[in-house]
Structure 1
Amino acid sequence: MDHAKLQATAMAIGGIYATAQREQALWFIMDAYKKELKRQVRKVLTEHGVAEAKAIRDAVEEFAVHAYAGKH
């Protein structure tokens, strides 16, 4: 994957979690909301041709929970 495509993927995923934080600040403790975010992230990864979308999606969620939950 080239740098531009990787950067576009990261920005799209960042946008998903930034929107979640704006709309529902405690999204990281809401299982249904997290499940929807994971679905959105997997879709972005798949659309951008990222291999191992499920594993990466799970790692992204782990990072996002750590990054955003630490603010509360």
Structure 2
Amino acid sequence: MKIVEKDYLVIIDDFEVEGFIDTEQRCLNCRFHLVYYEDFDAYFCPNCNVWKEAKCSDPECCYCPIRPDSPLPV
């Protein structure tokens, strides 16, 4: 897996995510740095391909209802 951060874009292989690599937070499972995904206002681990935050229960939330099950395409 190749990860590059450039101009508020994180490019994971060929998939682009608006956000940044958080150099202070790591996945508890694999110790990879977490990535902040702007479109869904949430952090995820690119190595495990899992969200690190649960969806909220706010019916007015504009992020959680459209958030996919996994952050990266399978």
**Shorter chain as normaliser: what TM range?**
under 0.3
Larger relative contact order (CA 8 Å, sep ≥ 6): 1
More strand as a share of residues = 2
